[in-house]
Chains A and B, each alone.
Chain A
Amino acid sequence: MMNLKSIGNLTLKSAAIGAALLLATQIQAANTLRWSSAGDALTMDPHAQNETPTINMNRQVYDTLIQRDQNLKMEPGLALSWEPLSATQWQFNLRRGVTFHDGSAFSAEDVKFSIERAQANTSDFKAYVNTIESVEIIDDYTVLINTITPDPILPSYLTFVFMMDQTWSLTHKVSSPQDYNSSEETYAVRHANGTGAYSLLEREPDLKTVLQKNPNYWGPAAQIETIIHTPIASAPTRIAALLSNELDFVLDPPIQDLKRLDGEESIDVTSVPQIRTIFLGLDQGAKRLRSNPELGKNPLADKRVRKAMYMAIDIRAIKQKIMRGLAEPAGIITAPGVNGYNKALDSRLPYDRKQAKALLTQAGYPEGFKIRLDCPNNRYINDEAICQAVVSMLSKIDIKVSLNAQPKSIFFKTVGNNDSDFYLLGWGVATLDSEYVFRYLLNTRSDKIGTWNRANFSNAEVDQLIAKIQQEVDLAKRDQMIEQVWKITKEDITYLPLHHQVISWAMSSKLSLPIVASNEPLFRLATYKK
């Protein structure tokens, strides 16, 4: 029988344990950053998945030759300097004295190995290095990169190519990237050996990732000793954890909670326009609608229909009610901060339901038509809610839209397999140059280029301009051609732009972590306020 005394003892003991634990967490908290986001990095193989959360986790551990600072300006990474020797040849001078986490030295061989690894078949970064013909080693700290055609934006593509250790990769049989799509498991998926400010201490996919400060980091030493990432899918749970001080930083707080979080004294919220534009794609190339073959023709091929749909969207209501003010209505599908963007281009057609209805009647659809809208429900900020609003707005000009909202894994397959008439997509610009948008979204689609041009837009003039832009070294001329492409496609209403996304980070007010428009936190810059 348990008497009162032993119960009392037990309480005392547990209180003591509790106090000890509390103390331990407080000591730990001073040097630890605990953070969360909805999803986890998909793999730690740095060349296997071109997805922002994955790249971000890898970027803490691996370095690139050239990197971007918190303002997205390019700065020397593992390369101290670089210069074009001719239109198709670049010289890179490497940083000396850099070591990988396992102690081995970084040299030119590792650069050649890593770029070739990124070019492998299973790599998801092929498109970033597909203009590279060969990498020549001059000496341990100098490499030459030869390109097939002139590539003026090679440096910005290289900010995504992580450098791995050749010896480590050969020892652990990971000299080619993990085949992510067939769920291959390799040593590099859960282990990492980079040169970054943090090393990978513990990795349990979808549960916990622990990073530890690299004492031999080549750059300014990081302030925080340990970084713990715990993905929490449910937004209210994530926010509750932040409010109860179980987390120090949440990467993706839902926008409906920002007002509340901002009101909390212990929490800071910062927002910045992201380099990502949300838009609607309309397949204007198909003979008939997949979701309504009975119609016999494709109304989206008619510019008046596209214009009617554009003008039926009340973007102000979406901004105010769904995005709660945290979005900038867009006129073109690229965001401020990208080369080629200018304010004059970024203007919208007015919201005018009457004129939209008139245009639709002119085009021969006085009674509207039926169509399906494909939409992701866990990729962009409030993606499904935006789609629901679009459905309701279009129904008011009698276009009957059925909504097919799916998780991103299924949605991207639907659009990628060319099975959609009408879809919502967001496009970030990794290279901060309009050419990145053109090559994926506006060039006539083939196996190599225009791969995400599911609007099946095809314009010979645009294709020619894009080909010229890709090789033009004179930046003024290049910018002029970029503007021309934007004007043509804007006039044509190739896509229906919605808004530029604004991202917000929520963190403990003791933490200072500069917000980055690429939505990639640089934890080496994080500090705790004294």
Chain B
Amino acid sequence: MEQTNSHTPTAEQMIAADNTTLIKRIMDSDIFYSFIRSPLIVIAAMLCLTLIFSAFFAPWLAPYDPFDQTTLSLWAANLPPLSTDEDGLFYLLGTDNQGRDILSAIMYGMRTSLIVGLAAVAFALVLGTSLGLVAAFFGGWIDSLLMRIADIQLSFPAILVALLIDGVAKAVLGTSQMESLAIYVLILAIGLSEWVQFARAVRAAALVEQRKEYVQAARIMGVPVPYIMLRHILPNVVSPILVIATISIAVAIITEATLSFLGVGIPQTEPSLGTLIRVGGNYLMSGEWWITLFPGFTLVLLVLSFNLLGDWLRDALNPRLK
């Protein structure tokens, strides 16, 4: 008994073995090879991770809490970058007109921007993918209806759709309620303005897949339709979804920033990058450039790194480019 036991691998060993093979599989994969071979993408990925990390851990990493009123000192207002106030506190990127540390405000603001961007894309992804699968699988009038809606929506710029939804929400909810719900409305608005991309890509890929033999075999065997869609077709259309999602995050962050810059997005009490840029814009002419420049620069870095990653992913997952 003991002998046989020593020969059969324990559960832990199996997981460990599985892990090594998984890591090995990743290391050996084409994608990883293409990743490690392009230094620009490595930098973009590192930058992206650093920004996300510093945003989500802002409460622990930021030098000051820009929303804690009791620590704000008006005497420290409008300090340029690299200055120290009379209490000996140091401000790397300077302070705004209330004495808030710009660096901390950016970290907290980036958190809001990322939450909105990621949540909006997640929403658009789920909605777009399900509608795309349904359209491809059922065809007929359902397909026509969904795709005509998509066509109509595509003829409007995404920002216009988001503005429209935001405006309607404001009228329905009223200004005071809108303040507390602004972030959810924004997620909904941006999500609804971007689902079309997912739906069209998934529909196209699914149409190709469902003519393949394995799907037809599953159908003949009587496998239920939802099961075929989720277990057989979905895994095979994941790569276009991934590519669109990465690029959409960048678009969603920009859309949010634009809406906030126009003053219809995130309220000032919980500023996002766009809000910070808008508020700082008032000081553009007066020589206090750091109030708007640094949030703007952060936005550029964030969006650029997501875009680079998205572009690279598109190429890496495209078999024709190998």
Contact = CB atoms under 8 A, between A and B. Distances in A.
Interface of A: 234-236, 239-240, 243, 254, 256-257, 259-260, 314, 317-318, 320-322, 385, 388-389, 391-393, 395-396, 401, 403, 405-406, 410
Which secondary structure dominates chain A's binding surface?
Answer: helix
Nearest to A393: B74
B74 A322 contact: yes
A197 B287 CA distance: 40
12 contacts: A236-B282, A256-B283, A259-B287, A260-B285, A260-B287, A321-B99, A322-B74, A322-B77, A385-B98, A392-B74, A392-B98, A405-B268
B209 to A, nearest CB: 47
B70 A396 contact: yes
Given A321-B78, A322-B97, A385-B97, A392 B72 contact: yes
A392 B77 CA distance: 13
Contact of B286 (A243, A259, A393): A259
B75 A321 contact: yes
Interface residues of B, number: 21
Nearest to A410: B175
Nearest to B70: A395
Interface in B191-234: none
A351 B281 CA distance: 33
B286 A260 contact: yes
B74 A321 contact: yes
B98 A240 contact: no
Nearest to B291: A256
A317 to B, nearest CB: 4
B284 interface: yes
Contacts of B269: 403
Given A256-B97, A257-B286, 13 more contacts: A236-B285, A240-B285, A243-B285, A254-B282, A256-B282, A260-B287, A317-B74, A317-B75, A321-B74, A321-B75, A322-B77, A385-B98, A388-B98
B282 A392 contact: no
B74 A314 contact: yes
Contacts of B69: 391-392, 395, 401
A196 to B, nearest CB: 34
A314 B78 CA distance: 17
B256 interface: no
B285 A257 contact: yes
A239 B70 contact: no
Contacts of B99: 321
B273 to A, nearest CB: 18
A324 B69 CA distance: 21
Interface of B: 69-70, 72, 74-75, 77-78, 97-99, 175, 268-269, 281-288
Contacts of A239: 285
A393 B69 CA distance: 8
Nearest to A398: B70
A256 B72 contact: no
Nearest to A259: B286
Contacts, number: 59
Nearest to B78: A321
B284 A236 contact: yes
A240 to B, nearest CB: 7
A239 B75 CA distance: 27
B285 to A, nearest CB: 5
A326 B93 CA distance: 27
A289 B281 CA distance: 37
B70 A235 contact: no
Nearest to A317: B74
A236 B281 contact: yes
A389 B76 CA distance: 12
Contact of B98 (A243, A254, A257, A389): A389
B130 to A, nearest CB: 40
B281 A321 contact: no
Contact of A321 (B77, B282, B284, B287): B77
Contacts of B98: 385, 388-389, 392
A318 B74 contact: yes
A388 B99 CA distance: 11
A115 to B, nearest CB: 39
A321 B286 contact: no
Nearest to A314: B74
Contacts of A235: 282, 285
Nearest to A242: B285
Contacts of A401: 69
A412 to B, nearest CB: 14
A142 B179 CA distance: 58
A243 B286 CA distance: 12
Contacts of A321: 74-75, 77-78, 97, 99
A392 B95 CA distance: 15
A260 B51 CA distance: 35
Contacts of B281: 234, 236
A169 to B, nearest CB: 38
A395 B285 CA distance: 32
A286 B288 CA distance: 43
What 4 A-B pairs have minimum CB-CB distances, sorted nearest first?
A395-B69, A256-B286, A317-B74, A321-B77
Of A256, A385, A391, most B-chain CB atoms within 10 Å: A256
Contacts of A392: 69-70, 72, 74, 98
Contacts of B75: 317, 320-321
B268 to A, nearest CB: 8
A256 B78 CA distance: 10
Nearest to B175: A410
B56 to A, nearest CB: 26
A467 B283 CA distance: 48
Contacts of A318: 74
A322 B237 CA distance: 56
B287 to A, nearest CB: 6
Contacts of A403: 269
B99 to A, nearest CB: 8
A38 B269 CA distance: 24
A403 B175 CA distance: 15
Of B74, B78, B99, B268, most A-chain CB atoms within 10 Å: B74
Contacts of B283: 256
A321 B282 CA distance: 15
A121 B74 CA distance: 47
Contacts of B286: 254, 256-257, 259-260
A406 B263 CA distance: 12
Of A236, A322, A392, most B-chain CB atoms within 10 Å: A392
A156 B138 CA distance: 80
